[in-house]
Amino acid sequence: MKRLGELASALDLDLRGDPDHQVERIASLEDAGPDALTFLADPRQRKHLQASRAGVVIVAPGDAARVPRNGLIAEDPHLAFARAARLLYPVTRRSDIHPLASLDSSASIGEHVAVDALASVGQHVRLEDGVQVGAGAVIGDHVAVGAGTIIYPRAVIMGSARIGARCQIHAGSVIGSEGFGFARDGHRWERVPQVGSVWLGDEVDVGANSTIDRGAIGNTVLEDGVKIDNLVQIGHNVHVGEHTAMAACVGISGSTRVGRYCTIAGAVGIAGHLVIADNVHITGMAQVTKSLTEPGVYSSGTGIEDNRSWRRNVARFHQLNDIARRLRQLERKLGRED
């Protein structure tokens, strides 16, 4: 619970209304009650503002006069809401080693570290101050984890990975597993040993059940501030620039370099050995088969339509080569007649 005046001071925002109003939770604009804080970022949702029962609404300066009760005024209401939510829902941290946790005697453990039941910490691991390791998580040999990082239950970190400070590694994710490397010998595949590692910068978030493969020779690298959603696959020797974000089910093949400040929407597939420039934004379900060397927004694929139209259009798509050939013949014929 926070007083509205406390929130305004902590967030450095202008306050409209009662500074002593108590805020207990966050909620959507439609569902919020007098004890809740919400926000208005999309002008199309203004119709819900006057009817909202929210105790506090964060709005842009242009909407300050429309606040029915109490308000916080922010240039970016969504960002201010995120920061307010973190104040109302602080991360719970502990400082204890559960008796059912397994820690190798060679591990280096900092101050205020928590390791939950059935977690395993291997040889020569280094856990810096404030690291939290969830139940059943596995920290393999020679892994280093930076201060304040949270490793959620059943996450696995191996391959001598280096994890920066204040990261969040969510449940079921695997960092440092072997990359997909095989050489063909006639009719069989022979595994190529993957001897590189994974390096994550500071404040990297890895979503649940995502995988980041260790490098084949060098390292797979995610720079500071990278955010990846659930069920993302990052192949060996991929390099992702700082503050790039990617949504669920993205797949990046090996040795591709993704620039800084990019956004990659859900289910995008990126082929290997490509270069993606800084400030590239790729829309959902796109297939990236060539390097993107200029900033901008990129898309591929076709939008959904009724099945009958789709089948007809697919049939025409398969006729394009023949149509183009006939068009060239017609152009040559018309050229001769001229």
Distance between CA atoms of residues 272 and 255, nearest Å: 6
| Confidence at residue 304, expressed as pLDDT on a 0 to 100 scale | 85
Q: Which of 264, 263, 178, 174 is nearest to 214 (CA)?
A: 178
| Confidence at residue 51, expressed as pLDDT on a 0 to 100 scale | 86
Q: Answer whether residue 337 shows pLDDT above 70.
A: no
- The phi-psi region of residue 269 (left if phi > 0; otherwise alpha if psi is between -120 and 50; otherwise beta) is beta
Q: pLDDT of 288-310, one tens digit each?
A: 999 999 999 999 987 889 999 99
Residues 6+ apart with CB under 8 A from 28: 38
145 phi, psi to nearest 5 deg? -125, 125
Q: Answer whether residue 7 shows pLDDT above 70.
A: yes
Q: Answer whether residue 207 shows pLDDT above 90.
A: yes
First-to-last alpha carbon distance for the chain, in angstroms, is 83
- Across residues 168-197, what is the average pLDDT? 95
pTM for the whole structure:
0.90
Instruction: Single out the catalytic residue among 124, 236, 243, 281.
Output: 236
Q: Answer whether residue 211 shows pLDDT above 90.
A: yes
**42 contacts 60 by C-beta, under 8 angstroms:** no
| Three-state helix/strand/coil letters over 294-320 | CCEEECCCCCCCCHHHHHHHHHHHCCH
Sign of CA dihedral 114, 116, 122, 123: positive
Residues 6+ apart with CB under 8 A from 252: 233, 234, 235, 238, 240, 258, 270
| Confidence label for 146 from pLDDT (cuts 50, 70 and 90) | very high
Q: pLDDT averaged over the chain?
A: 95
Packing angle, helices 77-88 and 4-11, rounded to 10: 120
Classified as helix, coil or strand, 108 is strand
Distance of CA 172 to the CA centre of its chain: 15
Residues 292-321 as b/e (b if ≥16 CB within 10 A, e otherwise) read: beeeeebeeeeeeeeeeeeeeeeeeeeeee
Q: pLDDT of 57-68, one tens digit each?
A: 999 999 999 898
Among the residue ranges 25-39, 41-55, 143-157, 252-266, the one predicted with the least confidence is 41-55
Q: Answer whether residue 224 shows pLDDT above 80.
A: yes
Which comes out higher in pLDDT, residue 48 or 159?
Answer: 159
| Confidence label for 195 from pLDDT (cuts 50, 70 and 90) | very high
Length of the chain: 338
- Across residues 168-193, what is the average pLDDT? 95
Residues 6-20 as b/e (b if ≥16 CB within 10 A, e otherwise) read: ebbeebebebbbeee
Residues 245-275 as b/e (b if ≥16 CB within 10 A, e otherwise) read: bbbbbbbbbbbbbbbbebbbbebbbbeeebe
236 tagged catalytic: yes
Q: Answer whether residue 256 shows pLDDT above 80.
A: yes
- Across residues 196-201, what is the average pLDDT? 98
- Across residues 121-131, what is the average pLDDT? 98
